[in-house]
């Protein structure tokens, strides 16, 4: 891959997590976070006129493309704002509002469960990749693309596989993924997304006042600037994986020796590749080389195995 | 200034240089306007922009050393130079080793991003009734006609058209793109270079000249600058009100209209329209990208839109019409007298058909261009930006053999470099020669020397010193001889 040049335009896909129930627990309100995000987006657009922007919003049920919008929204003329910014800001804000109010209408839904606080990130990320692909294919000159995910919700373990596949696809495409986690615990999956693609993982402190400054400092840099300036580093990254059978996040699990699927408990047949395991040898724990089922010694090993699976 | 022709980047830096040359209180006044801050911000380099953005929402000053630490070790000098540049522009202020953004600049750039402050700085839209005839397309053809008329005038093909207004000619004269001669105005070498640039560089040149003109006429430079920065942030195809403009700005408006950068229905009309020539300045190099599609409807199929709107705004001749073969032959699909005149600067034209000309790059034709001060890079850039769509898809766009050849022809001209020198010969004794040679070598003034022929060429500065040495030696020798007698 060629070196990024100073003049190359970039493409930024912003993925907003608009999960109402997740935000309701956050000390930083959605409105406040959005305002800061909009300023960040304006700053991004101010950097280069050629800079391209896509804004996606995702919650538990759906993933919408807010900007560029499919329909023309008539926006009140506000002469105080630079034209280019106003269109984006208004579309994004109104889009998020409609999604939030749409989610509120669903509150009475009996299907609401424990998973309500989770957001379908893999859907949003893969949609973002599709956008990036379309733009990159459609332009003759080199476009450097990256993503910024504003995440509030917890990980959804059941989408582990699809999320990891998306991340590896992004890695292949040279797309950086920056993560800004607003509150709650660290997101295991998104942390890996940032690590694998070479982006930054940011955890904004609880009151969220400094979110904008943090974003400006780390996530505004394009590929060229990242070559020049030092990026903040994360020392500890949680590389745990989820099992394929119950979608639990596991430290230690069983790995299929044929397809490298991960399981949290013993199974006679691999659900992914239908290999039948021979239990006698495994249970004897003779640790012979023909043991089909073996225990993963370290949590990291599971992810390493996964990556080789997806990349091959 | 007029001789400093080059890429668009160079022009941006000259505008930046112009800002640097302004005294501090001027800078503060320029910064007091969000549109100006945004426009200045866009003139900065990528790293510079990032430094500004990193500090924009920092409330306290930080150590200069810490800023340097942001850079990776091998990029430290780059970041240092950018910091220096920001300080020269008065964007960064330093106090006892701590740096922060200039308070005015910080506030107004924040305003530009969040929407606040002086609301007229991005232009006041005109709300009254407007005639329906002004569309984007119409504005584009109007601007192109006006601009090309000026370029035509420069190349001297304007016999049938009326010459441009006095103010246009004044600026052309002042920037030394043209000069007065016995039979009217004549294009200069820098004028030829000007013709080869892409339109946005040309517009920058004109604006910069306008600033100088304003200075000479003792207009308020800040007013002119603010208006200029406001203009580049306007929206294409929309009428703007002239109400809030000062008298100087009204005057400037009228003069920029004669360049085709702006359009007014009539002199003194209450509204004006920016054309794509000026709005595209804020959306990158105009030769490649069409004015940015920012409206919600246009942005849906982003990749498809730029091409479409480009076709709408630019004339066919701007789309790329030149085919260059590896054997240096040039085929150009154009009927524009202007384009043909420009090509004629460095191409040996052979055939002309109704919509098509053929020619070849020859050593003589390229050397003719070079002798007019046009550089090889300018020729190559021109050919690249105007390459036919069929060539655009290839990398590199132009055949390497031809670009190399053009560069070689340029180097050929630079083989000889005249230096004023003195030639020493006919040394009587070998020792004398060697003493002189050694001395000249020590002070480093030898241009050429031949030990066999006992000949020596030294620079003019060296001659003075050697002459002194010889004189003192002769005097010493004479004294010694007198003493021996």
Domains of chain B: residue spans and CATH: 34-120 (1.10.10.10), 136-283 (no CATH), 316-413 (no CATH), 421-484 (3.30.70.2610)
Q: What is the percentage of chain A residues whose pLDDT exceeds 90?
A: 8
> What pLDDT shows up at residue B160?
57
Residue boundaries of the structural domains of chain A: 10-228, 241-311
A242 near A157, Cβ under 8 Å? yes
A65 near A135, Cβ under 8 Å? no
Mean pLDDT value across chain A? 76
Instruction: Band the pLDDT of B329: cuts 50, 70, 90.
Output: very high
Are A230 and B114 within 8 A, CB to CB?
A: no
Are B75 and A229 within 8 A, CB to CB?
A: yes
CA A37/CA A14 separation, integer angstroms: 9
Q: Between the ranges A226-230, B97-101, B346-350, where is the mean pLDDT highest? A: B346-350
Q: Which residue of A has its CA nearest to B300?
A: A68
CATH assignment of A10-228, among 3.40.50.410, 3.40.50.300, 3.40.50.2300, 3.40.50.880:
3.40.50.410
> What pLDDT shows up at residue B462?
82
CA B147/CA B260 separation, integer angstroms: 6
The contacts of residue A126 (CB under 8 Å, 6+ apart) are A162, A166, A169
Tens digit of each residue's pLDDT (9 = 90 or more) over A32-90:
888 888 889 988 988 887 788 889 888 877 888 887 776 555 555 555 556 667 778 88
Query: Look-up: residue for tokens 């384009």?
Result: B339
Are A225 and B294 within 8 A, CB to CB?
A: no
Give B-chain residues touching A224 at CB under 8 angstroms: 46
Q: Which of the pair, B373 or B147, is modelled with greater confidence?
A: B147
Residue of A70, A91, A225 lying closest to B46 (CB–CB) = A225
Nearest CA distance, B119 vs chain A (angstrom): 4
CA B444/CA B440 separation, integer angstroms: 6
Q: Which residue of A has its CA nearest to B393?
A: A140
Determine how β-strand A293-295 pairs with β-strand A63-67: unpaired
> What pLDDT shows up at residue B324?
92
Mean pLDDT value across chain B? 78
Question: Mean of the pLDDT values across residues B411-426?
Answer: 84
Q: Which residue of A has its CA nearest to B123?
A: A79
Give B-chain residues touching A140 at CB under 8 angstroms: 392-393
Structure tokens at A129: 């990749």
Distances (CA, A) of A6 to A1, A138, B215: 16, 21, 34
Q: Which residue of A has its CA nearest to B307?
A: A139
Question: Mean of the pLDDT values across residues A293-308?
Answer: 41
Nearest CA distance, B91 vs chain A (angstrom): 16
Beta-carbon pairs below 8 A across chains A and B:
131
Q: Which of the pair, B460 or A285, is modelled with greater confidence?
A: B460
Q: What is the percentage of chain B residues whose pLDDT exceeds 90?
A: 8
Tens digit of each residue's pLDDT (9 = 90 or more) over A153-208:
877 777 788 888 899 999 999 899 999 888 777 788 888 888 888 888 888 866 66
Checking if the pLDDT of A310 tops 50, the result is no
CA B16/CA B212 separation, integer angstroms: 14
Other CB atoms within 10 A of residue B321 CB:
22
Interface test with A, best of B7, B43, B55, B57 (most A CBs within 10 A): B57
Query: Look-up: residue for tokens 């052979």?
Result: B350
> What pLDDT shows up at residue A65?
85
Q: Between the ranges A221-230, B111-120, B190-199, B273-282, where is the mean pLDDT highest? A: A221-230
Are B300 and A48 within 8 A, CB to CB?
A: no
């Amino acid at each position: 891959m060629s070196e990024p040049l100073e003049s190359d335009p970039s493409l930024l896909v912003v993925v907003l997590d608009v999960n109402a129930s997740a935000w309701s627990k956050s000390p930083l309100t959605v409105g406040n976070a959005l305002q800061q995000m909009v300023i960040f987006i304006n700053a991004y657009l101010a950097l280069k006129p050629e800079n391209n922007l896509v804004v996606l919003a995702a919650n538990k049920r759906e993933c919408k493309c807010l900007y560029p919008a499919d329909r023309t929204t008539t926006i009140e003329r506000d002469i105080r704002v630079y034209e280019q910014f106003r269109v984006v800001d208004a579309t994004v804000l109104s889009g998020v509002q409609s999604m939030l109010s749409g989610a509120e209408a669903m509150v009475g839904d009996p299907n609401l469960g424990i998973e309500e606080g989770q957001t379908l990130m893999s859907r949003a990320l893969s949609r973002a990749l599709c956008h990036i692909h379309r733009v990159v294919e459609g332009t003759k000159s080199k476009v450097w693309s990256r993503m910024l995910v504003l995440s509030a919700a917890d990980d959804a373990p059941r989408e582990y596989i699809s999320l990891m596949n998306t991340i590896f696809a992004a890695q292949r495409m040279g797309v950086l993924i920056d993560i800004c986690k607003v509150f709650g615990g660290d997101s295991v999956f998104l942390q890996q997304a940032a690590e694998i693609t070479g982006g930054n993982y940011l955890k904004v402190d609880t009151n969220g006042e400094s979110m904008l400054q943090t974003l400006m400092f780390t996530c505004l840099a394009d590929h060229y600037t990242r070559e020049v300036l030092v990026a903040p580093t994360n020392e500890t990254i949680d590389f745990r994986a989820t099992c394929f059978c119950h979608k639990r996040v596991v430290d230690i699990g069983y790995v299929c020796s044929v397809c490298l699927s991960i399981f949290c408990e013993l199974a006679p047949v691999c659900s992914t590749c239908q290999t039948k395991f021979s239990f006698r040898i495994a249970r004897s724990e003779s640790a012979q080389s023909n043991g089909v089922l073996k225990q993963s010694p370290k949590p990291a090993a599971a992810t390493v195995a996964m990556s080789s699976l997806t990349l091959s | 200034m007029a001789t400093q022709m080059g890429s668009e980047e160079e022009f941006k830096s000259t505008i930046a240089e112009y800002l640097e040359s302004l005294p501090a209180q001027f800078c503060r006044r320029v910064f007091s306007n969000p549109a100006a801050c945004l426009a200045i911000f866009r003139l900065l380099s990528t790293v510079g922009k990032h430094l500004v953005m990193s500090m924009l929402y920092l409330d306290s000053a930080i150590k200069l050393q810490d800023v340097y630490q942001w850079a990776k070790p091998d990029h430290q000098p780059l970041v240092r130079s950018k910091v220096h540049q920001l300080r020269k522009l008065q964007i960064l202020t330093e106090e006892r080793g701590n740096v922060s953004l200039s308070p005015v600049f910080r506030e107004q750039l924040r305003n530009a991003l969040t929407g606040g402050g002086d609301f007229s700085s991005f232009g006041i839209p005109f709300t009254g009734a407007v005639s329906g005839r002004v569309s984007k397309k119409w504005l584009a053809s109007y601007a192109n006609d006006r601009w090309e008329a000026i370029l035509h005038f420069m190349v001297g093909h304007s016999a049938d058209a009326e010459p441009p207004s006095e103010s246009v000619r004044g600026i052309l004269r002042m920037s030394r793109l043209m000069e007065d001669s016995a039979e009217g105005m004549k294009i200069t070498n820098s004028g030829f270079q000007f013709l080869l640039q892409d339109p946005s560089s040309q517009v920058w040149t004109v604006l910069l000249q306008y600033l100088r003109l304003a200075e000479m006429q003792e207009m308020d430079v800040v007013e002119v600058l603010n208006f200029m920065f406001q203009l580049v942030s306007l929206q294409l195809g929309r009428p703007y009100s002239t109400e809030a403009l000062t008298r100087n700005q009204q005057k400037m408006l009228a003069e920029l209209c004669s360049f085709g950068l702006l359009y007014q229905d009539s002199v003194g009309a209450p509204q004006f329209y920016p054309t794509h020539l000026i709005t595209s300045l804020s959306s990158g190099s105009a030769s490649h990208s069409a004015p940015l599609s920012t409206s919600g409807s246009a942005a849906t199929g982003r990749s498809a839109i730029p091409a479409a709107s480009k076709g709408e705004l630019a004339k066919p001749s701007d789309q790329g019409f030149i085919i260059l073969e590896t054997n240096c032959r040039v085929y150009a699909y154009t009927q524009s007298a202007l384009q043909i005149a420009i090509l004629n600067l460095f191409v040996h034209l052979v055939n002309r058909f109704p919509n098509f000309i053929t020619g070849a790059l020859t050593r003589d034709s390229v050397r003719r261009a070079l002798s007019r001060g046009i550089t090889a890079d300018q020729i190559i850039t021109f050919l690249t930006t105007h390459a036919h769509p069929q060539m655009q898809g290839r990398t590199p766009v132009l055949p390497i053999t031809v670009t190399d050849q053009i560069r070689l022809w340029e180097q050929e001209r630079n083989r000889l470099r005249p230096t004023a020198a003195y030639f020493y010969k006919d040394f009587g004794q070998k020792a004398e020669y060697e003493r002189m040679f050694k001395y000249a070598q020590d002070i480093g003034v030898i241009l050429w020397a031949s030990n066999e022929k006992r000949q020596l060429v030294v620079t003019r500065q060296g001659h003075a010193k050697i002459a002194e040495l010889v004189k003192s030696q002769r005097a010493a020798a004479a004294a010694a001889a007198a003493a021996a007698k």
